[in-house]
Amino acid sequence: METLIQQIIGGLANGGIYASLALALVMIYQATDVVNFAQGEMAMFSTYLAWSFLNAGLPYWLTFFLTVGLSFAGGILIQRVIIRPVETAPILNIVIVCIGLLVIFNSIAGWIYTYLIKPFPSPFPEQPLKIGNIFLGFHNLGAIGVTLALLILLYLFFRHTPLGLTLRAAAQNPESSRLVGIRVSRMLMLGWGLAALIGAVAGMMVAPIVFLDPNMMSGILIYAFASATLGGFTSPGGAVLGGFIVGIIENLVGTYVAFIGTQLKFTVALVLIIGVLLVKPSGLFGKAAIQRV
């Protein structure tokens, strides 16, 4: 029983990270029909930035918010400078550009910081929290807290602020948005900025667990894909829920199903994706695309 709860908490912690990254993916997909393959690498790069600040002696939370802010700006910059020139090109072209970004970030991170694994500090206490017979990792709880806070803030932003409404409108219907005077290009920049911000938070929360290295996020990206597929690429809320579910399933299957173990944990994500695609491609909460004749 204790193991179960521990695994669930651990799963929720991972799930929060998958949920965040999945949300970032879905946000950009909704606005542009493009899956940003570089989302993971951007998050990884942000985390390395944070590492540099910490190495220079800055306190943790200052670093945290500084990194978040810089990542936000970075996301905006990337959209404006790199993505906008190909905005109107066929989707596959934009995908290739994202792949280009992916390898650039990965390579530069490896170049500047080497491929040696680095530890990344957690702002939360080391010793676990003991409730009865259950030991709960403080970082896990903290990660859940931080990602939840982020997701809630985003929800409030999108649902209850004029800017959030504008962003939603621009993502859903760019042409009508122009007709009410919305500058859709600016909204796209904002969307990328937010996605990068989310990625930075996810990266900083996961680095203490998996340790910092340039390939840190590639596995997590796959879980993010699984989450977004499960929840539905057209539903931000679904993607978030999907993330938490995937996190829990991953941990439980890894613990309780004999032959999976830590090696084939990956396969869980893959099986999930295939399973969902076979049964309901649009995911739990996504809407099936209506084919216009």
Partner 1 sequence: MENRTETTELLEVKHADPLDTRIEGWKVAGVIAVLAFASLLPFVMSSYRLFQFSLAFAYAIALFGLNLLTGYNGQISLGHGAFYAIGAYTTAIMMEHWGISYIWTIPVAGFICLVVGFLFGIPALRLTGLYLALATFTLAIAAPQLLKYFEEWTGGVQGIVLSEPQAPFGLPLNKDQWLYYFTLSILVVLFIVGWNLLRGRVGRAIVAIRDHHIAAESMGINLPLYKSLTFGVSAMYTGVAGALGAIVVQYVAPDSFNIFLSISFLTGVVIGGLSSISGAIFGAFFIQFVPTYAQDISDAAPWAIYGIFLIIFMYAMPMGIAGFLQGLWNRLRRRRLVDS
Partner 2 sequence: MTALLEVEKLEASYGWTKVLHGISFLVEKGGVTTVLGANGAGKTTSLRAICGMVKTGGEMRFKGQRINGKATEDIVRLGISHVPEGRGTFVNLTVEENLRLGAYARKGKRNLGEDLERIYEYFSVLGGRRKQTAGTLSGGEQQMLAIARGLMLRPELLLLDEPSLGLGPIIMREIFHIVHTINKEEDVSVLLVEQNASMALDIAGKAYLLETGRVVMSGSAADFQKDDSIRRSYLGY
Task: List interacting residues with partner 1 (CB under 8 A).
Answer: 29, 35, 82, 84-90, 92-97, 99-104, 106-108, 110-111, 174, 184-185, 222, 225, 229, 233, 264, 266-267, 270, 273-274, 277-278, 281-282, 289, 291, 293
Distance CA 135, CA 42 (A): 33
173: contact with partner 2 by CB under 8 A: yes
107: contact with partner 2 by CB under 8 A: no
Distance CA 141, CA 208 (A): 13
176: contact with partner 2 by CB under 8 A: yes
Roughly how many angstroms between the first and final C-alpha of the chain, as a whole number? 54
289: contact with partner 2 by CB under 8 A: no
Task: Please state the separation of Cα 41 from the chain's center in Å.
Answer: 11
Closest separation in Å from C-beta 172 to partner 2? 5
For partner 2, give the closer residue by CB, 3 or 161: 161
Q: Which two tokens stand for residue 183?
A: 């500058």
141 Cβ neighbours under 8 A, 6+ residues apart: 9, 13, 124, 129
Binding mask 223-262 for partner 2 (x = CB under 8 A): ----------------------------------------
Distance CA 206, CA 14 (A): 8
Question: Which among partner 1, partner 2, none contacts residue 165 (Cβ within 5 to 8 A by kind)?
Answer: partner 2
Binding mask 133-172 for partner 2 (x = CB under 8 A): -----------------------------x--xx-xx--x
* Contacting residue, 57, 116, 175, 291, with partner 2 by CB under 8 A: 175
Which is it for strands 129-131 and 134-136: parallel, antiparallel or unpaired? antiparallel
126: contact with partner 2 by CB under 8 A: no
CB 102 within 8 A of CB 38: yes
181: contact with partner 2 by CB under 8 A: yes
Using alpha carbons, select from 13, 63, 11, 70 the residue that is nearest to residue 42.
Answer: 70
Closest separation in Å from C-beta 6 to partner 1? 27
Closest separation in Å from C-beta 168 to partner 2? 7
132: contact with partner 2 by CB under 8 A: no
Distance CA 268, CA 38 (A): 23
CB 156 within 8 A of CB 38: no
Q: Which two tokens stand for residue 202?
A: 């996810």
31 Cβ neighbours under 8 A, 6+ residues apart: 170, 171, 187, 188, 191
Question: Which among partner 1, partner 2, none contacts residue 148 (Cβ within 5 to 8 A by kind)?
Answer: none
For partner 2, the binding residues (CB under 8 A) are 162, 165-166, 168-169, 172-173, 175-184
